[in-house]
């Protein structure tokens, strides 16, 4: 079992650009959540996808959007990047109760 | 509004000692309380979790104590080892698997 896999591992983007991050959930998991973790902080919930629909959303602007595919994999898109979007972006998958995280994508906006 | 408060921010424990990290929550609708361990450059790894219908749960060297009336829960790491040196996060959610609200983290260092 490969666990939760995210790509890419690192990414550098310029302010104003758009970025897409990808996540493959753990085998057997149908729910994917995305979190943003700033340096030295706890992860902050962005949104959750289940059955290809956004089920819950945290306090993030519409510049943050996502998608879930029929195979349960997911993408996180961020438009009009700001310097403050620099963070570790984490994907978590779950089937019922326990949420398992991937290694994250380190996004740096310059 | 910070719904889960975690303390201390950092902790130094001698090898073999007990590490204790505390969390307090505000939302009484929370019914699932996991603890995660995170090493630098890695994603959080689930350590142990508890539901409010029990006051204590033990898995190996890790124990969660839960006080529903005080809205507090804590992680105890017995016989702490240098390999336990990491950042620990408490979290809470309403319905496991849903949106997790994390504490601010505790950086633990276990010294020889």
Mapped onto helix, strand or coil, the DSSP state of residue B101 is: strand
Out of B46, B96, B102, name the one closest to residue A42 (CB). Answer: B102
Q: What is the mean pLDDT of residues B18-46?
A: 96
DSSP A102: -
Interchain contact, A98 vs B89, CB within 8 Å = no
pLDDT for B2: 63
Flag whether pLDDT at B1 surpasses 70: no
Tokens 């943050």 locate to A64
B103 touches chain A (CB under 8 A): yes
Taking the CA of residue B42 as centre, how many other CA atoms within 13 Å lie in the half-sphere pointing to its CB?
Answer: 12
Tokens of B51: 């539901």
Shortest CA gap A109–chain B (Å): 18
pLDDT for A2: 77
pLDDT for B95: 79
- Tens of pLDDT, residues B49-84: 999 999 999 999 999 999 999 999 999 999 999 999
Q: What proportion of chain A, given as a percentage, has pLDDT over 70? A: 99
Q: Which domains does chain A have, with CATH numbers?
A: 5-109 (2.60.40.10)
Shortest CA gap B44–chain A (Å): 6
- Tens of pLDDT, residues A59-106: 999 999 999 999 999 999 999 999 999 999 999 999 988 999 999 999
Number of helices and strands in chain B (H, E): 0, 11
**Quick one: which of B53, B2, B8 has its CA closest to B31?**
B53
Contacts 24+ apart (CB under 8 A), B63-69: B64/B33, B64/B35, B66/B33
**Structural domain range at position B91:** 4-111
Tokens of A79: 């438009």
pLDDT for B67: 96
Out of A35, A42, A48, name the one closest to residue B98 (CB). Answer: A48
Sequence-distant (≥ 6) Cβ neighbours of residue B47 within 8 angstroms:
B34, B35, B36, B37, B59, B62, B75, B88
B92 touches chain A (CB under 8 A): no
Which residues, listed in sequence order, are joined to residue A37 by a DSSP beta bridge? A88
pLDDT for B58: 97
Q: How far apart are CA B7 and CA B21, in angstroms?
A: 6
pLDDT for A68: 97
Q: How far apart are CA A100 and CA B64, in angstroms?
A: 19
Q: Could you give the number of structural domains in chain B?
A: 1
pLDDT for B88: 98
Q: Which residues in chain A are closer than 8 Å to B91, comparing Cβ atoms?
A: 42
Flag whether pLDDT at A10 surpasses 60: yes
CB B74 within 8 A of CB B21: yes
pLDDT for B16: 98
Q: What is the mean pLDDT of residues A22-47?
A: 96
User: B73: domain CATH number?
Assistant: 2.60.40.10
Flag whether pLDDT at B26 surpasses 60: yes
Sequence-distant (≥ 6) Cβ neighbours of residue B37 within 8 angstroms:
B44, B45, B47, B86, B87, B88
CB A92 within 8 A of CB B36: no
Probe site for chain A from B4, B25, B43 (most A CB atoms < 10 A):
B43
Q: What is the mean pLDDT of residues B99-111?
A: 97
Identify the band that residue B98 occupies on the pLDDT scale cut at 50, 70 and 90. confident
Length of chain B: 112
Sequence-distant (≥ 6) Cβ neighbours of residue B10 within 8 angstroms:
B106, B107, B108, B109
């Amino acid at each position: 079992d490969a666990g939760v896999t995210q790509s890419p591992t690192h990414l550098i983007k310029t302010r104003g650009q758009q970025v897409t991050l990808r996540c493959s959930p753990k085998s057997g998991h149908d729910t994917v959540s995305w979190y943003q973790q700033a340096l030295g902080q706890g992860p902050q919930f962005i949104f959750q996808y289940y059955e290809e629909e956004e089920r819950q959303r945290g306090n993030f602007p519409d510049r943050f959007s996502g998608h879930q595919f029929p195979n349960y994999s997911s993408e996180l898109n961020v438009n009009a990047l700001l310097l403050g979007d620099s963070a570790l972006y984490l994907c978590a998958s779950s089937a019922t109760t326990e949420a398992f995280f991937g290694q994250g994508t380190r996004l740096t906006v310059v | 509004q910070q719904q889960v408060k975690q303390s201390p921010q950092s902790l130094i424990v001698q090898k073999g000692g007990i590490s204790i990290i505390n969390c307090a929550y505000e939302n009484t609708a929370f019914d699932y309380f996991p603890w995660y361990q995170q090493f630098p450059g890695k994603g959080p790894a689930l350590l142990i979790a508890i539901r409010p219908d029990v006051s204590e749960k033990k898995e190996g060297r890790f124990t969660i104590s839960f006080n529903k009336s005080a809205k507090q829960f804590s992680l105890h790491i017995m016989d702490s080892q240098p390999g336990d040196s990491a950042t620990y996060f408490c979290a809470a959610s309403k319905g496991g698997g849903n949106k997790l609200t994390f504490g601010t983290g505790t950086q633990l260092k276990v010294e020889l």
